[in-house]
């Protein structure tokens, strides 16, 4: 299976679940910002969760099916369309060779993930196919996709991927009437982000902590795969100690020298010296990944046991979804 | 009364995320802390727990990453991952297990100082009322310790620079600093592994690759290594760069 990029859109990169074995050499995790959508797209075509997918940012991208395809997409940045036919998300879609597919605007979010049966065939760099543009490695030649790029799948399909393909194979665009209901895994209130107090939580004054949990914070223009600048009430410190640079991780919220706030995302540095106020619950990082500059969010405090329980629940739910897809094609 | 062992480090453990805890060895930059962190890091790698993934050593901390699904299924005592791992790490520290010492290597980094490679060398020398050769001599006469790797892939935080070279960052950062550039910022000196923007005072450049994603060990340096800078001329630079 092969596609050719006609229009890459704002930023389209190859991502998987990221690389964590080289953190001690300061190689960031990278990987899909919205790992939940990426995993659901993979599951829908019978892949394992870690196969490489395309991460599209917003819409305005376009590609051509150079062969028959079995794809799936998930996320909130765009809706896939063939002429005027809307392709439904979160399920496998068979597309015959020669079809032209456009990504059109979906105002609810910013990132969309497209998986192909077998996964996109690219070399592993440091144990992952994820693109890290800053250092120019991973994905396709360490860069974002551009017009003319051809991407092929890994030929060897899993037995479930093969079954899905055989089942949907037709002369026309074809898909099942079921989907993997991503919305059911997400909280109803997508603007409320759950956080656990970070190690330097008590370095900040009482009023700042009250503000942090009551006032909306707005995603700033200077926001990208490395981190988001959050605009809102200034956070003041009572403890003025210097923090020695130490490990940080996607989801860490740092308070910079002037009291402003940075939420670290997938491509963030692995160490930082700014005090940390909170850590976003891993289950809410997919919500953060879909935020756009100008969006307002609120922080809600949970404890570390709750964060861990939510994480384990989410993982169990995702395992059940894999089983559910397999049952459809037994 | 129990006497406290001098070799056994004391530490506290805090939550970083669902997938990581940080061990805090005490907030200071000191060689004995670096040794304690390196030793415990080696010990943990020799005695990993079920679900252990990787570690990130820093100045005063060692952060331990793990797979919560594997940890929660493990037999380690404790209700949640944090308790299980904290207990395990504390026990490991209290046991008198000897780690096989990891000996840091000494890495010599050849540097072509000044000229186009070191656009800030002259101004920096002038600021400290030193000659250019004095700056080079001071910079090359120290055996530096790698305290941690951070900031960008392969960037080593080096300790122990001669205080006479301490210089504030540039008022306006440069949009592009070539890979291999050797710089000074405050009390620190270091080498840029990648071409990035940056505000350090650039005094020279090495032809060595500090980071190579195609290698099994992509970073040339690791925490605990020693670094020596050796002055080379342009001809030697070009030979090394092409070889």
Per-residue pLDDT, B96: 66
Which position has the higher pLDDT, B2 or A150? A150
Q: Return the residue of A nearest to B55 by Cα.
A: A24
**Residue-level pLDDT at B188:** 87
Show pLDDT as tens, one digit a residue, over chain B (243 residues): 333 444 567 899 999 999 999 999 998 888 899 999 999 999 999 999 999 999 999 999 999 999 999 999 999 999 999 999 999 999 999 886 666 666 779 999 999 999 999 999 999 999 999 999 999 999 999 999 999 999 899 999 998 899 999 999 888 889 999 999 999 998 889 999 999 888 899 999 999 999 999 998 999 999 999 999 999 999 999 999 997
Evaluate if residue A296 carries a pLDDT over 60: yes
Sorted by where each begins, the domain ranges of chain B are 12-94, 106-242
Q: What's the pLDDT score for residue B4? A: 40
Average pLDDT over residues A89-96: 97
pLDDT at A120 over 60: yes
Is A38 within 8 Å of A56 (Cβ atoms)?
no
How near does any CA of chain A get to the CA of B156, in Å?
Answer: 9
Q: How do residues A164-182 score in pLDDT, each as one tens digit? A: 999 999 999 999 999 999 9
- The dihedral of CA B162, B165, B168, B172: what is its sign? negative
3-state secondary structure A291-302: CCCCCEEEEEEC
Please report where in the chains the tokens 């000196």 appear, as a residue. B189
Which helix (H) or strand (E) segment is A6 a member of?
A: strand A2-7
Task: Look at residue A309 and tell me whether its pLDDT is greater than 50.
Answer: yes
B52 CB within 8 Å of a chain A CB: no
Cβ pair A246:B59 closer than 8 A: yes
Count, in order, helices (H) and strands (E) of chain A: 6, 20
Going by the DSSP 8-state scheme, the letter that residue B167 receives in this structure is B
- What is the chain A residue with the closest CA to B57? A24
Regarding the domain with residue range B106-242, which homologous superfamily does it belong to in the CATH classification? Answer: Cyclophilin-like (2.40.100.10)
Q: How far away is chain B from the Cα of A70, in angstroms, using its nearest Cα?
A: 31
* Average pLDDT taken over every residue of chain A: 96
Q: Are A244 and B60 within 8 A, CB to CB?
A: yes
Which residue on chain A is closest to B146 by alpha carbon?
A: A25
Distance of CA B54 to CAs A40, B21, B57, Å? 27, 11, 10
Q: What is the 3-state secondary structure (H, E, C) of A177-246?
A: CCCCCHHHHCCCCCCEEEEEECCCHHHECHHHHHHHHHCCEEECCCCCCCEEEEECCCCCECCCCCCCCE
B27 touches chain A (CB under 8 A): yes
Phi and psi for B61 in degrees, rounded to 5?
Answer: -135, 155
Exposed e or buried b for every residue in A291-327, given b needs 16+ CB within 10 A? Answer: bbeebebebeebebeebbbbbbebbeebeebbeebee
Would the CB atoms of A245 and B157 count as touching at under 8 Å? yes
The domains found in chain A, sorted by start residue, are: 2-183 (no CATH), 192-311 (2.40.100.10)
- DSSP string covering B19-42: TEEEEE--SS--HHHHHHHHHHHH
Interface contact flag, B151 A271, Cβ < 8 Å = yes
Residue B7: the pLDDT is 54
Cβ within 8 Å of residue A306, ≥6 positions away: A194, A281
Residues of B in contact with A282 (CB under 8 A): 17-19
Say if the Cβ atoms of A246 and B58 lie within 8 Å. yes
pLDDT of residue B3: 38
Is A270 in Cβ contact with B56 (below 8 Å)?
A: yes
Tokens at residue B11, please? 């530490």
Residues of B in contact with A127 (CB under 8 A): none
- The pLDDT value recorded for residue A175 is 97
Q: Is A42 helix (H, G, I), strand (E, B) or coil?
A: helix
> Which residue is closest to A280 within chain B, CA to CA?
B17
Separation in Å, CA of A308 to nearest CA in chain B: 6
Check residue B172 and give its pLDDT: 85
Distance CA B131, CA A324 (A): 73
Flag if A134 and B196 touch (Cβ within 8 Å).
yes
Hey, of B150, B157, B219, which one would you mutate to test binding to chain A, going by the most A CBs within 10 A of its CB? B150
A320 phi and psi angles, rounded to 5 deg: -65, -35
Contact B20 A308 (CB under 8 A): no
Burial of B134-157, coded b for 16+ CB within 10 Å and e otherwise, reads: ebbebbeebebbbbbbbbbbbbbb
Test the A interface: residue of B149, B153, B157, B217 with most A CBs within 10 Å: B153
A308·B81 Cβ contact <8 A: yes
pLDDT at A329: 78
Beta strands in chain B (DSSP E): 12-17, 20-24, 52-57, 61-66, 106-113, 144-149, 156-159, 174-177, 181-185, 188-191, 196-198, 201-205, 226-231
- How many C-beta atoms lie closer than 10 Å to residue A262's C-beta? 23
CATH architecture for the domain at B12-94: 2-Layer Sandwich (3.30)
Q: To probe the interface with A, which of B12, B28, B56, B157 has the most A CB atoms within 10 Å? A: B56
Chain A hits for B85, CB-CB cut-off 8 Å, are none
- Structure pTM? 0.94
CA distance A111 to A54: 10
Which residue among B65, B80, B154 places its CB closest to the CB of A26? B154
Determine what percent of chain A is predicted with pLDDT higher than 90.
94
Any CB–CB contact under 8 A between B220 and chain A? no
Q: Which residues pair with A70 in a beta bridge?
A: A94
The pLDDT value recorded for residue B2 is 38
Distance (Å, rounded) from C-alpha B25 to C-alpha B12? 7
pLDDT the model gives residue B100: 67
Count residue pairs from A and B with Cβ separation < 8 A: 130
Give the minimum alpha-carbon distance from A194 to chain B in angstroms, rounded to a whole number.
12
Position A67 scores a pLDDT of 98
Chain A residues at the B interface, defined by Cβ less than 8 Å, are 20-28, 125-126, 134-138, 196, 199, 241, 243-249, 251-252, 269-271, 279, 281-282, 304-305, 307-309, 311-312, 315
């Amino acid at each position: 299976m092969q596609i050719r990029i006609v229009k890459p859109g704002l930023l389209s990169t190859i991502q998987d679940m990221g690389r964590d074995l080289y953190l001690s050499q300061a190689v960031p995790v990278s990987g899909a910002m919205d790992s939940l959508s990426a995993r659901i797209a993979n599951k829908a075509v019978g892949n394992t969760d870690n196969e490489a997918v395309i991460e599209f940012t917003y819409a305005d991208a376009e590609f051509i099916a150079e062969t028959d395809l079995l794809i799936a997409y998930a996320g909130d940045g765009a809706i896939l369309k063939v002429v005027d036919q809307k392709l439904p998300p979160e399920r496998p879609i068979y597309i015959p060779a020669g079809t032209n597919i456009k990504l059109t605007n979906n105002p609810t979010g910013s990132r969309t993930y497209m998986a192909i049966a077998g996964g996109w065939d690219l070399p592993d760099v440091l144990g992952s196919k994820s693109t890290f543009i800053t250092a120019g490695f991973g994905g396709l030649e360490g860069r974002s996709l551009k017009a003319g790029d051809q991407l092929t799948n890994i030929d060897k399909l899993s037995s479930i991927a093969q079954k899905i393909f055989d089942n949907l194979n037709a002369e026309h665009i074809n898909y099942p009437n079921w989907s993997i209901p991503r919305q059911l895994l997400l909280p109803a209130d997508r603007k409320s982000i759950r956080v656990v107090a970070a190690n330097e939580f008590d370095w900040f004054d009482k009023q700042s902590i009250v503000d942090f949990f009551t006032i909306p914070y707005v995603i700033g223009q200077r926001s990208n795969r490395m981190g988001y600048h959050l605009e809102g009430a200034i956070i003041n410190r009572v403890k003025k100690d210097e923090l020695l640079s130490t490990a940080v991780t996607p989801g860490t919220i740092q308070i910079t020298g002037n009291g402003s706030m940075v939420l670290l995302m997938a491509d963030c540095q692995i160490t930082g010296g700014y005090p940390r106020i909170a850590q976003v619950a891993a289950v809410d990082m997919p919500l953060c990944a879909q935020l756009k500059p100008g969006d307002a969010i609120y922080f809600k405090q949970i404890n570390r046991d709750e964060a861990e329980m939510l994480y384990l629940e989410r993982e169990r739910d995702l395992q059940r979804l894999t089983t559910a897809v397999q049952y459809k094609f037994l | 009364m129990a006497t406290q062992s001098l070799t056994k480090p004391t530490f506290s453990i805090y939550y970083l995320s669902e997938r990581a805890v940080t061990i805090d060895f005490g907030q200071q930059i000191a060689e004995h802390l670096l040794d304690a962190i390196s030793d415990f890091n080696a010990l943990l790698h020799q005695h990993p727990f079920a679900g252990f993934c990787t570690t990130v050593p820093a100045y005063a901390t060692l952060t331990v990453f793990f797979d919560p699904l594997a940890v929660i299924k493990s037999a380690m005592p404790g209700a949640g991952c944090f308790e299980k791992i904290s207990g395990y790490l504390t026990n490991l520290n209290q046991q008198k297990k000897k780690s096989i010492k990891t000996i840091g290597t000494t890495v010599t980094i050849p540097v072509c100082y000044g000229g186009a490679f070191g656009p800030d060398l002259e101004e920096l020398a002038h600021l400290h009322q030193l000659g250019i050769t004095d700056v080079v001599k001071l910079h090359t006469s120290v055996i530096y310790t790698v305290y941690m790797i951070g900031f960008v892939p392969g960037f080593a935080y080096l300790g122990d620079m001669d205080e006479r070279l301490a210089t504030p960052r540039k008022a306006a950062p440069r949009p592009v600093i070539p890979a291999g550039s050797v710089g000074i910022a405050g009390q620190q000196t270091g080498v840029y592994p990648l071409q990035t923007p940056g505000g350090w005072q650039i005094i020279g450049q090495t032809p060595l690759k500090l980071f190579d994603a195609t290698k099994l060990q992509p970073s040339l340096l690791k925490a605990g290594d020693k670094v020596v800078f050796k002055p080379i001329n342009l001809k030697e630079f070009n030979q090394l760069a092409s070889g």
